[in-house]
Structure 1
Amino acid sequence: MSTQDINVRQKPAVAATGGNTETLLATKALTKNFGGLTAVDSVDFSVTEGEIRCLIGPNGAGKSTLLELITGQLSPSEGDIYFDGEDLTGMETHNRIDTGLSVKFQSPHVYENLTVEENLQVPLQRTDRDTETVLAETLERIDLTEKADVRASELSHGEKQRLEIGMAVTLDPTLMLLDEPVAGMSVDETADVAELIRSLHDDGMTFLVVEHDMEFVRRISDQVTVLNQGEIFRQGPIEEIEADEAVRRIYLGENA
Structure 2
Amino acid sequence: MKPFLSIRALRSGYAGGVVLHGVDLDLQAGGIIAVLGRNGVGKTTLMSTVTGFIRPYEGSVMLDGRETAGSRVDAIARAGVGIVPQGRRVFAPLTVAEHLAIATRRPTTGPWTRERVLRLLPRLGERLGHRGDQLSGGEQQMLAIARALLANPRLLLLDEPSDGLAPAVVAQVGEVIREVGAEGMSVVLVEQNLRLAFSVAQEVAVMQKGRIVHRASCAEFQSRPDDRRRLLGVD
1:248 aligns with 2:235: no
Q: CA deviation at 1:113?
A: 2.2
Partners of 2:33 and 2:90 in 1: CA distance: 25
Which has the higher relative contact order, 1 or 2, with Cα contacts under 8 A spaced 6 or more apart? 2
> Among 129, 146, 150, which residue is 1:170 paired with?
150
Corresponding residue for 2:115? 136
Q: In proportion to residue count, which structure has more helix?
A: 1
Q: Which has the larger radius of gyration?
A: 1
For residue 86 of structure 2, give the secondary structure of its aligned residue in structure 1: coil
Consecutive unaligned residues in structure 1, runs of 5 or more = 1-20
1:127 matches 2:107: yes
Instruction: Look up the SS of the partner of 1:172 in the other structure.
Output: coil
User: Matched residues, percent identical?
Assistant: 29
The aligned residue for residue 62 of structure 1 is: 42
For the 8 Å contact 1:139–1:148, the answer to whether it is kept is: no
Output the TM-score relative to the length of structure 1. 0.84
1:17: which partner in 2? none
SS of residue paired to 2:232: helix
* 1:214 equivalent among 184, 194, 197: 194
1:85-114 Cα deviation digits (max 9, x unpaired): 211112111110000000111111223222
After the TM superposition, which of the residue ranges 149-158 and 201-210 deviates more from structure 2? 149-158
- Which secondary structure state, in structure 2, belongs to the residue aligned with residue 23 of structure 1? coil
In structure 2, what is the Cα distance between the partners aligned to 1:175 and 1:205?
A: 6
Pair 1:175–1:128, CA change in 2 (3 A) = closer
Whichever residue aligns with residue 237 of structure 1, its letter is S
| Superposition TM-score, scaled by structure 2 size | 0.91
Q: RMSD of the alignment, in Å?
A: 2.1
Contact 1:234–1:241 at 8 Å: present in 2 too?
A: no
Aligned in 2, Cα 1:34/1:160: closer, same or farther, shift over 3 Å?
closer
**Cα shift readout 1:181-212 (whole Å, capped 9, x = no counterpart):** 11000111101111111112112211101011
Query: Which sits farther off after the overlay, 147-156 or 88-97?
Result: 147-156
Amino acid of the residue matched to residue 56 of structure 2?
P
Aligned-partner residue type, residue 110 of structure 1: V
Deviation at 1:217, TM superposition (A): 0.7
Structure 1 counterpart of 2:179, one-letter code:
S
Give distance in 2, aligned partners of 1:197 and 1:213: 14
- Identify which of 168, 180, 201 aligns with 1:200: 180
Query: Using a 3 Å threshold, how does the CA distance of structure 1 residues 38 and 152 change in structure 2: closer, same or farther?
Result: closer
